[in-house]
Chain A
Amino acid sequence: GDSVTQMEGPVTLSEEAFLTINCTYTATGYPSLFWYVQYPGEGLQLLLKATKADDKGSNKGFEATYRKETTSFHLEKGSVQVSDSAVYFCALSNTGTNAGKSTFGDGTTLTVKP
């Protein structure tokens, strides 16, 4: 079946540092890929998405590019802020027999220190 593997955390950075969180996936067909963010005590919320190969999703300074050749969707931000501290989840949503069954990575906890 489909699976998502995320870079293990936790990750601790200083403010204004560069962020990369790795995400690779295994899936048949042409899944859509997502990054979600979860702040303490809240549900997940969409950060960005890409629906086909070479698409780049971006939002709030975060970016991720759908790389079909390496089955990856790494999250990057050039300069993190304290307010970016949260848990980040990579996820995929597929078609065919797996339609409706979104698959999530285990999450990566990011802490940004002033």
Chain B
Amino acid sequence: NAGVTQTPKFQVLKTGQSMTLQCAQDMNHEYMSWYRQDPGMGLRLIHYSVGAGITDQGEVPNGYNVSRSTTEDFPLRLLSAAPSQTSVYFCASSRQAWSSPLHFGNGTRLTVT
């Protein structure tokens, strides 16, 4: 059982470049979300989705776009990368938005130079 799969594991971008971080889950979970993890700041919610075709903003959405065309996939797009977006990004899914625990991918470490 693969769970939540994130690609790539590592990425280096130059300022202004764009890219898409991929996330796929095979557990038929309705809820999916993206977090960024920065030292001493815990995890901060970027965007989330409660089902296919529905997305909403989290705590730090600026500079990122998402879409949810299928239940399985929830890609995160960086429109024009900035050094402030250097971080570790985690995708997570759960059966529902409230009492179900989150299942996390292993993360994408992004460096913007």
Contact = CB atoms under 8 A, between A and B. Distances in A.
Interface of A: 4, 32, 34, 36, 41-46, 49, 51, 89, 91, 93-95, 99-107
Contacts of A46: 101-103
Nearest to A44: B104
A4 B45 CA distance: 14
A101 B43 contact: no
A interface, by DSSP: helix, strand, loop or mixed?
Answer: strand
Contacts of B41: 106
Contact of A94 (B42, B59, B98, B105): B98
Contact of B102 (A41, A51, A95, A102): A102
Interface residues of B, number: 26
A34 B99 CA distance: 9
Contacts of A44: 43, 90, 92, 102, 104
Nearest to A31: B98
29 contacts: A32-B98, A32-B99, A34-B101, A36-B104, A42-B106, A43-B4, A43-B90, A43-B92, A43-B107, A44-B92, A44-B104, A45-B104, A46-B102, A49-B99, A51-B99, A89-B42, A93-B98, A93-B99, A95-B98, A99-B97, A100-B33, A100-B48, A100-B50, A100-B56, A100-B97, A102-B102, A103-B45, A104-B43, A105-B42
